[in-house]
Chain A
Amino acid sequence: MMSYVYDLMKTPFVLALIKIVILLVVAFTVIAYITLVERRLLGFFQSRLGPNRVGPLGLIQPIADGVKLFIKEDTVPIHSNSLLFRIAPIFTFFPSLVGFGVLTFALPWITPASKMHLFALADVDLGVLLVLSLSSLGIFGLMLGGYASGSKYPYFGGLRACSQMLSYEVPLTLSIITVVMMANSFRLSDIVTAQQTHRLYFFIPLIISFVIYLICMIAETNRTPFDLPEGESEIIGFHTEYSGMRFGFYYVGEYTNVVFLSMLAPALFLGGYDIPFVNDIALWQVYPQLISILGFCSYAIKSVLFAYFYIWVRATFPRYRYDQLLKIGWLVLLPISLVNLFIVAGIKLFLLK
């Protein structure tokens, strides 16, 4: 019996299922706790405590929040487009969740019995493209939610969200393309491997792309200083009319995006699961399990750095205005990233043969 189960577990389909479950559990935990971390950190920045009442250090706070959102009444305004209003939150939430599937979290874990890759779910060869297209899908949730609410404030929020995400998608893509050109591959694990073999993280040669990525990353997730779609002191936001778990989907969707983009950034620019100052690949031949685990930790720390950056920026900066935001997107970031793209392409073509 046991051997039957063991054999079954080695089949790719079941293995993938198990990995999906583990990934979802881990991702949800991380997303839930980043809300807590953000609130505690904001408290730290703002000389106050933050939520610390539910459980030790407030550790049960995210669960309490979740329960609260679930048991709240789900209201649908009379003037709304009922169907769109109901399905819109799903559009923001699930595409960003799918993105986690293409990430590779560490070097393969090699056991004597099999060559299972435990730290990647679907390391597809067009990973970067998939990620980009999925993040474009996220716009629909915001736009439809704002439009379907049948109210003016969400309408403005939806309009702002739509134009903002569209205009920042372009520089974001262009900055990622330079990375793809350097690595010669769309596969995320190949991009990391390229950085490992060159012993050079891409944020050093591609510093302009890196900065553009950092800015667009914040704008893509609609957070301060680019949180116009939900500028709570101006137009309250595209989710004004939402309540209960549908609001929760938007809320969680935003943090999913934050976590996902913080996890993508190290893979693209900081060498992913590479351990700094160590020749990973050589050591991996000798101690595969150890390097896998250490690499995973290194990846986690790098991601946390980016998430911390998000929160830090939120505590520091005021909010941009709508027209200023679009001006920055189209008149500053787009030309710079285009020129950057041509320069990188030229270097790649003529110097790095």
Chain B
Amino acid sequence: MNNERPSYLREIFETKEIELNMGPQHPATHGVYRAILTLDGERIVGLNSVIGYLHRGIEKWAEYRTYKQATPIFDRLDYLSAVINCHGYVGAVEKLLGVEIPKKAEYIRVICDELQRLASHLIWLGTHALDIGAMSVLFYAIREREAVVDLLEAQLGQRLLNNAYPIGGVRFDFPKGWVEVCRKFLKVFKGKIDDYEELLTGNRIWRQRTIGVGYISREDAIAWGLSGPTLRASNVFFDVRKSIPYSAYPDFDFEIPLGQNGDVYDRYLCRIKEMRQSVRIIEQALDGMPEGELKAKVSPIIRPPVGEAYFTVEGSKGQLGFYIISDGKEKPYRVHIKSPSFINLQGLDVMSRHQLIADMVALIGSIDIVLGEVDR
């Protein structure tokens, strides 16, 4: 994988490095991410990331809201997986309060989280394929995401930014007939994943474009703090659902797909396999749905004990953490968000060394950043 250009070429031809400004209005940067690339020909020799175009001060804002009022703000972090963001924040407050959540509520949360993960991965799949030039996959992925979003809408009342869970449980049981529709969808969806794989996994061009591109070693991946499929593709077993179990995940039997080589192709495979595992989890949760309360008893005005809590969930991009400091009043004293996209983007520097511009596009797609989460 030595992509370095031989130095004698430089000596023969007097070459000069040029700087290319990629973004913030570039179609392949998935938002307002700006990369200042130093190029030798088409080869990247330096990368300077500029972020912050979408900084909305969510952490500051949350300090001025009560615990309940602050919940919907965090949907705006990673706007493609709002449900999981909400779970992270609500879970952190519950951890601080020491509330026991009813089993049924946990199951419903797991189902909604995994549906949201499917939706987020589908958007990723479509845009990633579009970046590499496979145009049709986007439309197939959007078609299936539409069904997922419809399911979420029926359960949570909103499609995109669904202020999903209250502190202490869930708001509603599944509407009538929802479970059957969901089962039917999952059955169809398994075949659809095969379709995507048929279009991409064995495709020669796809393999040539992704195998060996954006390599990061196991040691580097851990040291740079990557998380989610980006980390697991480098053969590191770290999934919050298994490593720091939360909610009802210990009840289910599922696997964490690992990659071997840590390149763009392995990240793609990891996410595809993760979708299959999500389907498995949802099916198990639907089968084993317990009876019981939907919400634990939480006082209407939430005043957690003075102290701090760090609660992490497995977001669709990686480990999403909420660090909440309470001073015993009704507003959070400080909320800090560990956003996986932010940290994963940092690793882009290592991955993009000596790659081509076209690889850069594949790379940004493969780490699946959402700028709302990077800039907060």
Contact = CB atoms under 8 A, between A and B. Distances in A.
Q: A contacts B directly in the complex (CB < 8 Å)?
A: yes
Interface of A: 42, 45-48, 152-153, 156, 224-225, 227-228, 231-236, 314-324
Most buried by A among B130, B133, B209, B361: B133
Contacts of A234: 28, 357-358, 361
Nearest to A152: B20
A158 to B, nearest CB: 13
Given A233-B27, A234-B357, A47 B129 contact: no
Contacts of A153: 20
Given A317-B203, A320-B205, A322-B42, A47 B133 contact: no
A317 B28 contact: no
Contact of B28 (A228, A233, A323): A233
Contacts of B361: 233-234
Contacts of A315: 135-136
Contacts of B132: 233, 318-319
Nearest to B355: A321
Given A234-B358, A318-B205, 7 more contacts: A225-B205, A233-B130, A316-B136, A318-B133, A318-B134, A318-B203, A321-B358
B148 interface: no
Nearest to A224: B133
Q: Top 8 A-B pairs ranked by shortest CB distance?
A: A319-B133, A46-B139, A318-B134, A318-B133, A233-B28, A318-B132, A233-B131, A321-B358
Judged by DSSP, the binding face of B is helix
B375 interface: no
Contact of A224 (B28, B129, B135, B199): B135
B358 A322 contact: yes
A45 B136 contact: yes
Contact of A322 (B20, B136, B139, B356): B356
B69 interface: no
Contact of A321 (B135, B143, B356): B356
Interface string B63-105: 0000000000000000000000000000000000000000000
A17 to B, nearest CB: 43
Nearest to B133: A319
Contacts of B7: none
Interface in B125-178: 129-136, 138-140, 143
12 contacts: A46-B138, A228-B358, A233-B132, A234-B358, A316-B199, A318-B129, A318-B200, A318-B205, A319-B133, A320-B208, A321-B208, A321-B209
B135 A47 contact: no
A224 B20 CA distance: 25
Contact of B133 (A46, A225, A235): A225
Interface string B111-137: 000000000000000000111111110
Contacts of A46: 135-136, 138-140
B357 A156 contact: yes
Nearest to B140: A47
Judged by DSSP, the binding face of A is loop
A3 B133 CA distance: 60
Contacts of B140: 46-47
Nearest to A315: B136
Contacts of A236: 27
Interface string B344-376: 000000000000111101000000000000000
A128 to B, nearest CB: 31
A324 B133 contact: no
**What's the interface size class on B, roughly?**
20 to 34
A48 B140 CA distance: 10
A40 to B, nearest CB: 14
B196 interface: no
Contacts of B131: 233
A42 B359 CA distance: 26
B179 interface: no
Nearest to A320: B205
Contact of B139 (A47, A225, A227, A318): A47
B53 interface: no
A324 B205 CA distance: 9
B206 interface: yes
B136 A320 contact: no
Nearest to A228: B358
A319 B42 contact: no
B18 interface: yes
Interface string B185-209: 0000000000000011001011011
B65 to A, nearest CB: 39
A86 to B, nearest CB: 26
A292 B42 CA distance: 52
A47 B138 CA distance: 11
A235 B37 CA distance: 13
A164 to B, nearest CB: 13
Nearest to B42: A322
Contacts of B359: 321
A230 to B, nearest CB: 11
A237 to B, nearest CB: 11
B139 A324 contact: no
A247 B33 CA distance: 28
B15 to A, nearest CB: 13
A315 B140 CA distance: 12
Nearest to A319: B133
Nearest to B18: A152
Contacts of A152: 18, 20-21
B205 A232 contact: no
Contact of B27 (A224, A232, A317): A232
A317 B129 CA distance: 10
Most buried by B among A156, A227, A318: A318
A266 to B, nearest CB: 27
A46 B142 CA distance: 10
Contacts of B206: 318
B134 A323 contact: no
Contacts of A319: 132-134, 205, 209, 358
A7 to B, nearest CB: 56
A234 to B, nearest CB: 5
A317 B20 contact: no
A317 B205 contact: yes
Nearest to A45: B136
Given A318-B129, A318-B209, A235 B27 contact: no
